[in-house]
Every structure is written in structure tokens, then in C-alpha cells.
Structure 1
């Protein structure tokens, strides 16, 4: 199994699903031990400290593939490749419910299961509070940030293939360096050249 994990796990292959669900179970353990966490996929590039943009009163805050302008609307389309979660009885119980929901949806990955259970009556009963992060601050290839003065992170989402992700993240980094070296960077609006190589996904 460890040898399989040493190579790229293609989207929705059995080893990919095992990795995603194993990761979720690990994060459940972190919460159970009493630790808050920021989780970030390795294809998320950080530009600024994200902590000032988190709401300390909210249990679960996550980035989005699609953000509708209302950070508390459960109809936002989240991407759990970047999130901030506080350890408390509500989040611990939610993660337990989320991990166990694999038995209900055995062919889905954990992100799709999250989208199904975020509005489940049991989630409402738990009392978990959600906040969906604005893509102006926490952008991605699905919905790039439009302002360099705001952007905290950029996620190589909506893209399949490690080589394509690396190529386009390098372009993103070059764009960021060019912004920082510009004398007008305080007023400059964002224009990312990526995604350039990444084949777009439907979600």
C-alpha cells in the first residue's frame, strides 16, 4: 500500500478514494485530540496569512469551487482542499458522521459526500456552523481571485494531472512575483495567466 501511495493517485481510482477517506479519518483524529487545524492540499499556493480572514466563532470554514456571495449559504459549492476547523463537540460529531457516511455512499469521494450531508437533518441537529470562504480571498482555477490586493491562496482545482498542476502553479507564482515587483502593486488588479495547461474539469 505504501508503494502505491508513492505514485500519483489519479482522480476517482480506488487508491485515490482510499487516500481521501484515510485523510478524512486522520483529520477526525486531530479534532478528537482537541486541536483546531488548517488543512491545505499541496496544490494550494499561499500568498498571505489567512488567519485574519477566518471567523473565530464559526466551526467549519472551507474554500469554494463556486462562491455565490453569501458565506453562510449551504448552496455554495465547497472545496475541502483548504479549510479551517475548530475542535469542539459539534465538529467531532460531524466528522464522525462524515466518515461513517462512506458506507451510505460507497462509490463517492469525501467531497461529494460532504455536499450531500451538509444539509442533512442530522447535521442541523448537531448545530454545526459553516462559513464558505470568498473566492476573492481564497481563489482557485475554478474561480480565480480577481484582486492581487486581496488574494490569500490559489488552489489548482478543476484540474486533473499532477504535471499540469505543477506547470500552472509555476505560472501563478511568476504572476505573483511580478505583482510584488511592480511599483503599482498597491492598486493593481489581478490577471492570472493560469490555468494555461490544466485541462478543465466539470467541477
Structure 2
């Protein structure tokens, strides 16, 4: 929550930006209508190849997309090398209710026998979770991760950002890491604007059970926690945006725009930390946003570990520094999970299973803190 005079100034600044963004959007829609008539003799492929920037201090860079319902979408060109566009990929991947599962991937996490392999393996080891692979969209942030994705998965989308290399391992809270996280926030806003709800999952999250029964029908946004304090509506819960459900509507679209703009008020901060700053802000109340939190008993992580194998749904390698530490502990957890799945009911009653991990991650976290 913002505090004192600085708080008022921060809110005013974001409000002014949102107001300017609204005016800019109206102007762009008018210009788009004029250009639609003026450019009738220009080929569609020419339009798709021509970027158009508009006052970047008011809103993210945008590019033209020639679609019947919208000209203005996104921060960068959304075209892939094979000519598919975001809307097509979403329609192809989504469930009948227009919900899609999304994860993002860069080269460091796409290398063979590393994070993306563990992530996909967990769907095969989970209870009735393999079916969700048909509705999983992997958003690749660089060419190498996209190439790896199309070799192992059916639904891949290449999201390029001009002038930025997202391929290598990004150290937590480093400048490149922050740019990658904020690029993700802006992309997820685009998904909502296309009319698709999403369940976002970081690739360092293992899926053990179906998470959808744990999504509240009353929530516009429901987010995981590093620390859950017992009430799903409590804003004191420490949010973790690595696992988040967002329902496509005007409230969530406005929220994602507000969240993205708030990074200018809190420069150098992680999107998750900014979320924990703004979640109490009056602007969210004005949007009418219904925000809830997942119980870590079910949607768990290393920060607040659930040891109940009978009910655990997902496990996130949070509170961890370093890719290798994440890999070591998640591999051990998959081993523990497979052992649990092989136990008979009597074995489970008399030998309560426990996690042998996390050890590497908690050691790395404690060293930093």
C-alpha cells in the first residue's frame, strides 16, 4: 500500500497515466478507422509487416494487427515465422470455455533435460493431468526456446521483443530478469484482450492434480502465495504471480494495465513485489476487481511447503536461487511423488510419505537472506 504524500503522488501519477492511455486509445481507434479506408489497396501482408509506434511514454509500444475486431494489440509484433497469430494459437489451444494454460520459456529453461522437461513430465505423473497438455500454450521468448518447444510440444508461440536477448539464465531480480517478467505481464494482458481467460504457471511448478476445482467462481483473479495466512480474501497474504488465474473481463484487463504502469512508480522492482504493493490500492476497488488467493495447502511451494500428499495440487520451486538448485530439488520431488503413487493404501496409512526436498533451494535462499 502506498504511504503518505508519496502515496498520493504515486496514485495520481498512475491515474494520470491511465487517463492518458484511455485518451490515446480513443485517438488510435479514430486513426485506425481512417487508415482502414485509406489503406484498402495495400496488401494485408504489408500491413502485418509494418510496425507502428505511438507515444511510448503513455503506453507500451504497439504494432498493427489487421483483424476485424481490433487493430491495436500488444507491445511487439505477434507474428511467428510460420505466419500464425496469437488469436489463432489461443483458439487452437483453449478449452471450450476459452481458458488456456500458459507458461513462458527461454533458452536456459528449454535446454534438454532441464526445466521444461521436468514441467511436462509432471503432467504425465500427476493424477488425471495429462489431458491438460492439449490446452497448454508454451510462450517462447527467444528463437532457441521456440525451436525446442516445437520439437516436444504441440502448442508453441514465439514472442519476440526487439533489442532484448532473453535466452540465457536470468538471475533473480537482475535487469534482464525484470525485463523478462514485465514482458510477461504485458503479454498476459494481450491474452485477456483477445477474450481468453488463462491459468498461468511458471515452468518450475510441478502439476500433481487438477487445479481447476480450486479456482473460485467469484474471483476475477486468483493468485498463489509465498505465505498464506488462512483466508482467501485477505490482502495480507503474500502473493506469488508464478501461478495465477485471470478471468477475461474489463476488470482484469484494467488491472493488468494498471499493474504494468505501476512499474514506473516502483522502478527496479519485480512484478510480484509491485503486485504486493498495489493489491490494497483504491484503484483496484474502483475497477471492481475481485482478488483472491490460493491456499498453500493445495497450491504449494518451497516457501510454505505442504506435506499432505493426499491433497497437494501443485508444487512451486519458489524461495530459491539458481536454476541448478531448482532442478535438483524438483527432480527429488518427482521421485518422492512417484514413490507415493506406487504405495498401496495400507502403506500410506502406516508409512506417511514425506518430501526429501527442498534442500538445495532453501540453502541458497537462506544464504542470501
The 5 A counterparts of 1:24-63 are 24-63=185-224
Task: Report the Cα offset of residue 189 of structure 1.
Answer: 4.6
Does structure 2 retain, via aligned residues, the 8 Å contact 1:60–1:83? Answer: yes
1:191 aligned residue (354, 362, 365): 354
Q: Which has the higher helix share?
A: 2
User: Deviations 1:112-137 (Å, cap 9, x if unpaired)?
Assistant: 11001100011111111111101110
2:169 maps to: 8
Measured after TM superposition, the shift of residue 56 of structure 1 is 1.9
TM-score by length of 2: 0.53
Q: What's the CA shift for 1:190? A: 4.9
SS at match of 1:159: coil
Mapping of residues 128-139 of structure 1, within 5 Å = 128-139=289-300
Compare relative contact order (CA 8 Å, sep 6+) and give the higher one, 1 or 2: 1
Q: If you compute each CA radius of gyration, which structure gives the higher value, 1 or 2?
A: 2
What is the match of residue 178 of structure 2?
17
Q: Does 1:144 align with 2:305?
A: yes
Please give the TM-score of this superposition, normalised by the length of structure 1: 0.95
Answer with 149-158 or 124-133: which moved more. Answer: 124-133
Once residues 80 and 112 of structure 1 are traced to their aligned partners in structure 2, the CA distance between those partners, rounded to angstroms, is 9
Q: 2:204, 2:166 → 1: CA distance?
A: 17
Match of 1:76 in 2: 237
The answer to whether the aligner puts 1:89 opposite 2:250 as a matched pair is yes
1:100-119 deviation per Cα after TM superposition (whole angstroms, max 9, x unaligned)? 11111111111111001100
**Cα offset for 1:197?**
1.2
Aligned length: 203
List gaps (5 residues or longer) in structure 1: none
| C-alpha deviation, 1:23, in angstroms | 0.4
Change (3 A) 1:190 1:151: farther
Unaligned runs of 5+ residues in structure 2 are: 1-140, 143-163
